Amino acid sequence: MVSFEGFRPEGSEPIYLQIVGFVKRGIVSGEIPDGDEMPSRRILSALLGVNPNTVQKACRQLEEEGILVSHAGSKSFVTYTPERRERLTAELVAAGAAAAALKLKRMGITLEEALELIRRAWREDDET
């Protein structure tokens, strides 16, 4: 069963997109294996303390992206191929890099300074 224990809505992004992102990150990290069962929409709504329509919208988005398979009156399951997982990884990495670059640029950091900050963080991570 997909666990939403670590889910914490934050920021200005709509909650349904935060739920979608949480599931995608879980797939990429390996925390959500292919075939894992999703909690029912009603249970997930209560668990997260959000409107059932918000959960429904997130599930619909995941279904449209081919990540969630649902049948009326039945359980829903996360589904993906290794290729789909690779595409999700690339998508999340690109989005994260773009967001970080934009924040640094808006702070007045030059490209060279940004690259040096990344190199430093990369080396520090290697040392831990």
CATH T-level topology, domain 15-80: Arc Repressor Mutant, subunit A (1.10.10)
**Which helix (H) or strand (E) element contains residue 75?**
none
Residue 62 · residue 76 · CB < 8 Å? no
Domain spans of the chain?
A: 15-80, 83-127
- State the pTM of this model: 0.86
The 10s digit of each residue's pLDDT in 78-87 is 999 999 999 9
The edge-to-edge listing of strands for the beta sheet with 68-70 is: 37-38, 76-78, 68-70
The 10s digit of each residue's pLDDT in 45-73 is 999 999 999 999 999 999 999 999 998 77
